[in-house]
A and B are shown apart, each in its own frame.
Chain A
């Protein structure tokens, strides 16, 4: 058996603050192969924190500890700033949850994507421009050449999200962390974007960590799912079995989603049990 692309043991992140320490992530352990790994869980449960820790992007004064964090045979634990610079963008990439915040507000969309290309790939500017336009077209932007010239504030929510996706995919990373990548997209465009990600995993062997609140998408798109609560990974199951999940939190999540087919007057809510954190 080949070694997994990513293996993580006891990854923890905490933020010291005036009113005590926030333990945002507690001893997370998992592995990732060339597959689609879904991550679902409560708001504030540590999903984005886990993604940022894997890219060495936890802001000060946050503290990251782990007994193991290996990516493609290399330990990320003692990585220097220079090591991270080499990995980030080219080999490891993350589509952030707030796309407009992650795009540079004073630079045109096209220039930002072209720059990412030139930074990571050994190609000419003309070739980079071609790839940037192709990528905008691939994410179903209606007028790629117009959007190429626009600034982030001129784009709709979903267009900004797709510009961000285009920017992260254009350098063809080996591992992609996608944090709510389709939350601002209408369902037909959403499926197109999922198809692109699916293709990268199947045909280019990319590893994908897919953070999402949409249980429908996670169960139909991912291979495996991590369920998080209060900074912990509560359970890891195959996506196919999500509907039959055992943990009471996961079961409650499934019952809380409003469904087009089964309307309810009042949505079921989750009664949180302190024992889930033990």
Chain B
């Protein structure tokens, strides 16, 4: 059965200075329409690169790489871009330093020919808990979490059917994070939104996702359900290590 997103044997390598980095080494999964799929795993294991390949932002090889049954072209059409929105891991780098929040949110509305710009921008800011006073600020005049919320608002403002979220709440305090996660869950219910979420926070991933993939060194080590993750159903040692480490810092080990 074809899913909303199909990935078979995905491989991505980077080449620079005569050195090659095999960032993704044969990853396969598929995400059904309306499903939320989580990816957690080691830092540098290729999670962001998988998302970028699905968005057509890096060159990749695969036997299948398709969204909605259509192969992903590196050069995407306007319609493709509207379908799929990306919240990048690094909000500072993904926001233009010389654009205010207002301009950042207005741009996609202009590109895709939507109406009622001012009302939509005001609503998008309100949705992510930003106030009117933040609307005309530049990224460097906002706090880390406020910047991240501008990036989330930009992704949501077009109401895309597919969202790729790379650590969307890592710069947010838990109270704002709860509001954003509830917002995403509401949109998911109302619009049959398909989501891939990358996060280091197992609580966040298990909250939003039905199935969760664990990545290490460019490969998926296992895919399990949120229930399995919660109830000690992990088969791989690395997954069990992650679950253990997520329970907090233990000085006992630190003293060794």
Cβ contact within 8 Å between B43 and A42: no
Q: Place the interface of chain A in its size category.
A: 35 or more
| Number of A-B pairs, beta carbon distance below 8 Å | 179
Residues of B within 8 A of A162 (CB): 43
Judge whether B113 is part of the interface by a CB distance below 8 angstroms.
no
Cβ contact within 8 Å between B44 and A156: yes
* Among A17, A98, A142, contact of B92 (Cβ-Cβ < 8 Å): A98
Min CB distance B127 to A, Å, is 13
3 tightest A-B CB contacts, nearest first: A158-B43, A43-B145, A267-B178
Cβ contact within 8 Å between A97 and B171: yes
- Interface segment among B13-21, B25-33, B101-109: the answer is B13-21
Judge whether A2 is part of the interface by a CB distance below 8 angstroms.
no
Cβ contact within 8 Å between A44 and B143: yes
Which residues of B are in contact with A by a Cβ distance under 8 Å?
14, 16-17, 19, 21, 40-44, 47-48, 89-93, 133, 136, 140-146, 149, 166-167, 170-179, 181-182, 185, 200-204, 206-207, 226, 229-230, 241-243, 245-251, 253-254
Residues of B within 8 A of A219 (CB): 248
Residues of B within 8 A of A257 (CB): 174, 177-178, 203
Judge whether A15 is part of the interface by a CB distance below 8 angstroms.
yes
Cβ contact within 8 Å between A186 and B43: yes
Q: Which residue of B lies closest to A154 (CB)?
A: B16
Min CB distance A247 to B, Å, is 13
Cβ contact within 8 Å between B248 and A216: yes
Residues of A within 8 A of B248 (CB): 216-217, 219-221
Cβ contact within 8 Å between A253 and B202: no
Cβ contact within 8 Å between A213 and B177: yes
Q: Which residue of A lies closest to B44 (CB)?
A: A156
